[in-house]
Amino acid sequence: MTVSTCKRWLGVAVLACCLAPAALADDVQPFQFSDAFYIEHGVDPTATLDHFVFPDAKFPECADGRLGPPCRTEAGVSPDPDVYNDVRVIETTGGFMHNGNLLYYQAVSFLMPGSFINNAAGAETRQICDDFRAFLFPKANGNPVSPAPPNRRQDNIFETNNGYFSNNPLGCWTLSFISWDGPNVNSSTCQDEMADLEQENGLDLDGTPVIRTLSDINNLLADGCVRETLRNKDGSQGFPWVI
């Protein structure tokens, strides 16, 4: 669906916006992908770690939260049965596109290795998931590979370049964790980069500079200022991928 300043795309249901969140006030709530759509793209919907379904005051049966009974539309009708079922996703959170523009998104499923169907579609989707990263920024005193919101020092950055909007139909990402403990973080080069980022973007909850673009991440990694950590792909550290 399209609104005046934002477009909703398939994929972590990204809402790519260049203006204020108020532009979303009249937007229609997004929906969960249908089982058929998951299967078409090589994901077993019964083998995902969790489908996000959130409480809704209009539907008391949903009060158990995301693992409770689905929060459905009043008419029980999907907006597009070829792609979605009638389960509404009623939480939206924010982050940054690769270029630093704001985006708003909904996380709808977590994937483990067994979530991918053992066929060509499953292999293709897993490769797509590995090709696109969602960058998370854990607090220095927290779990370095935990995506829990209380563990985040700033908002996420998503790798929305390289054909994301046309080549990633589920909007699948591999989790990448960025920490300020690169081998050269105390070098003059890194300290200068940190000072520049602080002046441009301000400070995060740890008192370290906010990182806003993929280009910044790549530069900081190349100079050894930050460290990138991925969860083990066997799922031993939790789900490695998110839709």
Question: What pLDDT was estimated at residue 198?
Answer: 99
Per-residue model confidence as pLDDT tens digits over 192-243: 999 999 999 999 999 999 999 999 999 999 999 999 999 999 999 999 999 9
How much of the chain exceeds pLDDT 90, in percent?
A: 64
DSSP 157-196: EE---TTHHHH-TT--EEEEEEES--TTTTSHHHHHHHHH
Tell me the pTM.
0.82
Burial tier of 78 (Cβ tally within 10 Å: 0-12, 13-18, 19+): middle
**What values do phi and psi take at 154, rounded to 5?**
-155, 175
Residue 10 confidence (pLDDT) above 80: no
Mean pLDDT along residues 89-116: 91
How much of the chain exceeds pLDDT 70, in percent?
A: 77
How high is the mean pLDDT of the chain?
A: 83
